[in-house]
Amino acid sequence: MAEPALIPDLARGPASRHGADPSPGVWRTGRLMTGLKARLTVATLTRSPGMIVGTILGGLWGLGVLFMIGTGLFAAAGALPPEGTRATAVLVGAAATVAWWVAAIASGRADATLHASQFALFPLPRKGIALGQVLGALVGIAGPFTLVGLLLYTAVWRLDATAWVTAVVLLPAGWLLMVVGNRCFTALAERLAAKRRVGEILTLLLLVLLMLTGPILTGLFTGVESLGARIYTVTDVVAWTPVGALWAVPADVAAGAWLPALARTGIAAVTLAALLWLWRGALGKSLENATGAVVSGGGRSQVKGAGLFDRLPARPWAAVAARCLTYWVKDPRYSGSLVVVPVMFVLFWFMSGGGGGLWFFAGPLVGLLMAYTISGDVAYDHKGFALHILTGVPGWADRLGRVVGMLLPGIPLTALGVLLAAGFSDAWELLPAMIGVSALALLGGAGLSSVMSARYTYPVPLPGQSPFKTPQGFTVLNVLIQFVALTLMGVLTLPALIPFVIQLVTGSAAAGVISLLVGVIAGPLLCAGGIWLGGRWIEARAPELLNTVSAYR
């Protein structure tokens, strides 16, 4: 017989003090959460002196961009016919709305400030949490900027007083549409991302989409000679969509077209209501499943044996390479780079209209990208780097393994870039020089990364985080490190690049051979030198390095 005294009497219900305390109301919750968000914003922006400088510079930059957009819209109103003004207003408004919504999925698990699951333990009303999240956006970073941006945006209607007044009146509604959509999609994305693999694939897809935005948009608007007519058709369609309807209302009101104005306002209202309804559901789910438990998807993926560790030689450097390569495949922070490369090829193809021009530099650029990725390698390891220290792996083996892990996908991808470049431009006589420059970029860059990352690091997204996550705690030094690393890598390729350019200009085949020789001789030498020197540095300062990278959050 169990001792009943030990079991709390759950049946007592309201008579018990459990949960009898009155929970704060909707408005008070909203106010509390807004205050919390304001404090978090201030704390984030003033974490360190370096951060304050960054905040001021970033703020000035943001204001500058807003000012430019505002000036552009102001000028557009004067320069364009009324239909042009309407098209500008609708398309810019719709694009900003879409940007806000898509940003939600991009940041995904990243911006969890005020996320509902953090408040699951507190007896807060759901509506209050929602209110807090919307009001909280006002005291965040993007929210105020958007508000200022929207104010500037109304300048597009400056020539028509009626439209301008309507736009100003509708401004809060527009802002609300953006923010509520953002919160709603954040909550939905969170639900999706709970299946890790799904979340990761979504992230990678988005990365591709973002990179291809330019070509896709250009493709939509160009190709046909009558650009103007096309834009107006697009505008008319967009003006009836949930993201565009609201932005077209001022034009309707100004034209006295009351029925369309009413209909579009209706569309916007229904959209807002639908978003609120969806958000309510997702919020409820987040509050009920607040443990943050990640489901690894149907039939937990099992690695057979020791995976790549069985395939590569049983040496410390090869073990490091196997580990790095596993991460290149499995960790979106690395595999993002692998996905980006083919997309880069598409971009080159698009921008150079088939062959020539930029294509010539496809190989070297891929090489640089791959080499640069490992300049943050120790920071990507984060606390895992402790294992390398504890096992006493020699510094050169640590460096060599990382370089080999990068080169295994890096060499084929760079070679593909070179071959595609030569093929599409039908410039096979440039092949030796392109190989030379690419070899120097990839191998010399890898050498430089090996040295840089042994001492100088910068914050990166932590293990398990989305590659889109903006790491916190950037200092002026970190930015300088990245700048210097990239500049040095560029400078490093000059000895092969200069003869290559000479060949491009004069057609001298000898210059191409010189480029090839410089690349295939200096590249491996620089790489080996970088591994040796980086190894020395890392052995001298491994604990300090671990201290620095494990403090990133």
Partner 1 sequence: MAVSLRGLTKVFGPGTSRSKVAVNRLSLDVPHGAFYGLVGRNGAGKTTALSMLTGLLRPTEGRAMVSGIDVWGQSRQARHAMGVLPDGMTFFERLSGRQLVTYAGLLRGMDRDTVAQRTDDLLRAMDLTNDGGTAVQDYSAGMRKKIMLAAAMVHAPGLLVLDEPFEAVDPVSAANIRELLQDFARAGGTVIVSSHVMDLVQRMCDHVAVVDDGRLLAAGTVDQVRGSQSLEDTFVELVGGRTQVGEGLTWLSPR
Judged by beta carbon, residue 237 or residue 540, the one nearer partner 1 is 540
Residue 237, SS3 per DSSP: helix
Judge whether 372 and 451 are in contact, CB under 8 Å: no
Shortest Cβ distance from residue 111 to partner 1 (Å)?
A: 21
Interaction mask 12-41, partner 1, x per CB under 8 A: ----xxx-----------------------
Q: What is the 3-state secondary structure (H, E, C) of 11-66?
A: HHHHHCCCCCCCCCCHHHHHHHHHHHHHHHHHHHHCCCHHHHHHHHHHHHHHHHHH
Please give the DSSP secondary-structure letter assigned to residue 442.
I
| Member of 386, 427, 486, 498 binding partner 1 (CB under 8 A) | 386
- Among the listed residues 296, 487, 506, 508, the single contact to partner 1 using CB under 8 A: 296
The encoded tokens of residue 280 equal 């309510």
Q: Of 16 and 470, which CB lies nearer to partner 1 in the complex structure?
A: 16
Please check whether residue 19 is in contact with residue 118, taking contact to mean a CB–CB distance below 8 angstroms.
no
Which of 260, 60, 32 is closest to 132 using CA atoms? 32
Comparing CB distances to partner 1, the nearer of 322 and 362 is 322
* Secondary structure class of 295 (helix, strand, coil): strand
Q: According to the binding rule CB under 8 A, does residue 301 interact with partner 1?
A: yes
Which range touches partner 1 (CB under 8 A), out of 112-120, 368-376, 521-529, 538-546?
538-546
Among 77, 90, 75, 72, smallest CA distance to 233 is for 90
User: Which listed residue (26, 36, 285, 331) binds partner 1 by CB under 8 A?
Assistant: 331
What is the distance between the alpha carbons of residues 225 and 543, in angstroms, rounded to a whole number?
Answer: 63
Q: Does 46 bind partner 1 (CB under 8 A)?
A: no
Decide if residue 6 touches partner 1 (CB under 8 A). no
Q: Quote the CA–CA distance of 131 and 25 in Å, as a whole number.
A: 11
195: DSSP letter: B
Distance CA 128, CA 136 (A): 11
Q: Indicate which single residue of 111, 381, 478, 549 sits in contact with partner 1 (rule: CB under 8 A).
A: 381
Residues 161, 293 contacting (CB under 8 angstroms): no
Return the residue of 81, 225, 298, 300 that touches partner 1, per CB under 8 A. Answer: 300
Give the binding range for partner 1 (CB under 8 A) out of 100-108, 123-131, 210-218, 322-330: 322-330
Give Cβ neighbours of residue 115 (< 8 Å, ≥ 6 apart): 186, 190, 286
- How far is residue 219's CA from residue 231's CA, in Å, rounded to a whole number? 12
Distance CA 314, CA 392 (A): 16
CB of 383 to partner 1, least distance (A): 5
- Identity of the residue, 158 or 536, whose beta carbon is nearer to partner 1 in the bound complex: 536
Binding mask 427-466 for partner 1 (x = CB under 8 A): ------------------------------------xx--
Residues 224 and 246: their CA atoms lie apart, in Å, by 29
Shortest gap between Cβ of 462 and partner 1 (angstroms)?
10
- Give how far Cα 136 sits from Cα of 60, 115, 173, Å: 22, 11, 16
Round to whole Å and give the CA distance between 376 and 389.
17
Binding mask 230-269 for partner 1 (x = CB under 8 A): ----------------------------------------
Should residue 473 be labelled a site residue for partner 1 when binding is judged by CB under 8 A? no
Provide the minimum distance between the beta carbon of 409 and partner 1 in the complex, in angstroms, as a whole number: 16
Contact track, partner 1, 64-103, x by CB under 8 A = ----------------------------------------
330 near partner 1 (CB under 8 A): yes
Query: CB of 51: closest distance to partner 1 in angstroms?
Result: 17
| Binding flag, residue 4, partner 1 (CB under 8 A) | no
Which one of 109, 115, 264, 323 is in contact with partner 1 (CB under 8 A)?
A: 323
- 518, 495 contact by CB (below 8 A): yes
Q: Does 327 bind partner 1 (CB under 8 A)?
A: yes
When asked if residue 305 is in the footprint of partner 1 (CB under 8 A), the reply is yes
Note whether 193 binds partner 1 by CB under 8 A: no
Regarding 384 and contact with partner 1 (CB under 8 A), the answer is yes
**DSSP bridge partners of 295:** 195
CA nearest to 328, candidates 441, 417, 387, 405: 405
Q: Which residue in the set 131, 178, 320, 440 belongs to the binding site for partner 1 (CB under 8 A)?
A: 320
Q: Which residues contact 106 (CB under 8 A, 6 or more apart)?
A: 203, 206, 210, 466, 468
Q: How far is the CB of 45 from partner 1 (least distance, A)?
A: 21
The single residue among 338, 389, 416, 431 that binds partner 1, judged by CB under 8 A, is 389
Q: How many CB atoms lie within 10 A of CB 105?
A: 22
Residues that bind partner 1 (CB under 8 A): 8, 16-18, 294, 296, 300-307, 309-310, 314-316, 318-320, 322-323, 326-327, 330-331, 381-384, 386-394, 463-464, 543-544, 546-547, 550
